[in-house]
Amino acid sequence: MSDNELGLFLRTRREGVTPAEVGLPAGPRRRTPGLRRAELATLAGVSVEYLTRLEQGRDRHPSPTVLSALADALRMTPSQRVHLHRLVKSADPGFTCRGTTAPNPVVRPGVRAVLDQLEPAPAAVVNRLGDVLACTDGYQRVMGPTGLLDGGLPASVVRHVFTDPRARTVYPDWDHVADKTVATLKQGPYLADPETTALVDELTVTAGAEFTDRLGRIPGLPEANGTRRLHHPEAGRLRLVFEVLELSADDDQRLLVHLPADPATAEALDRLVGRRPGGLRAVSG
């Protein structure tokens, strides 16, 4: 299992940026997806040899100047720049922001009150392992029939996606969902956290290559928002807009909120959660 998260992130970002995005001609016979190393090195003002060392993990301590130049050249968003900074900091052993603290299993009363106010929207509080710690009744109505909540709370989103056969049917875009599930699991302390390492070891056995292959090629930068398609066992096809809201660092938890992405989904959710028509309005673009 590779621990070269900095190199992985730089390589995947390089491969995800097209020459046109940085003002370069694509040229004929281009075999490399995105930018070539030589192109990125020129744009960032570093040598190809040094960029190679960074991507291969032979140098894990680039200077702030080099980091800034790479981020500029790769057109990184603010969240990507923060992630890049964290990866460099995590290369120094001996200190993590969370120390040896286990994932927090306690949801504060104030956060539970927020969940109550979000009814009937499907919303949940999730920890860094992908465990659902608390949720709205709307979330139970939507996710219960998928099998996620079969064992009650806490429920593991990661185990459900990778080890429950029903997840392949529930998520028509299962490959994308699996990619983003791994990205979320790798966020934060990742292998510096014993709890995360134990879950990784477990899924290496129970989920096999579908899980381990993603560990080696998916960087730990999860989606903060987006649209998810579900083939619901009772409500049929659903399209849900989701937002992930980070709670305080002391909580070490995230608030996940879903809303219908179209009128048909809004009507289906109203029926599913037993609310009057219009209880959940579709999010307009």
Task: Tell me the two tokens of residue 130.
Answer: 């992908």
For the chain, the structural domain boundaries read 5-90, 109-273
Tens-digit pLDDT string for the chain (285 aa) = 467 889 999 999 999 999 988 988 877 777 777 999 999 999 999 999 999 999 998 998 899 999 999 999 999 998 889 888 888 877 665 545 555 577 888 999 999 999 999 999 999 999 999 999 999 999 999 999 999 999 999 999 999 999 999 999 999 999 999 999 999 999 877 878 889 999 999 999 999 999 999 999 999 888 999 999 999 999 999 999 999 999 998 899 999 999 999 999 999 999 888 766 666 778 865
d(CA 140, CA 123): 9
Q: For residue 156, what are the CA distances in angstroms to 33, 177, 184?
A: 35, 14, 13
pTM: predicted TM-score of the whole model, two decimal places: 0.84
**Residues 46 and 69: beta-carbon distance below 8 Å:** yes
Total Cβ atoms within 10 A of residue 114: 18
Q: Is the dihedral of CA 85, 86, 87, 88 positive or negative?
A: positive
pLDDT recorded at residue 92: 64
Helix (H, G, I), strand (E, B) or coil at 28: coil
Residues whose CB falls within 8 Å of the CB of residue 58, separated by 6 or more in sequence, listed in order: none
Which amino acid makes up residue 161?
V
**pLDDT by residue (tens digit) across 113-130?**
999 999 999 999 999 999
β-bridge pairing 123-127 and 131-135? antiparallel
d(CA 21, CA 79): 19
Triad 107, 112, 113: Cα angle to 5°: 150
* Secondary structure class of 107 (helix, strand, coil): coil
Strand blocks (E) in 51-145: 123-127, 131-135
Q: Which fold has domain 109-273?
A: Beta-Lactamase (3.30.450)
Does the domain at 5-90 match CATH 1.10.260.40? Answer given as yes
CA 128 centroid distance within chain: 10
Report the b/e string of 4-41 with b at 16+ CB within 10 A: bbbbbbbbbbbeebebeebeeeeeeeeeeebbbbebbb
CB atoms within 10 A of CB 56: 11
Provide the pLDDT for residue 11.
Answer: 93
Are 280 and 120 contacting, i.e. CB atoms less than 8 angstroms apart? yes
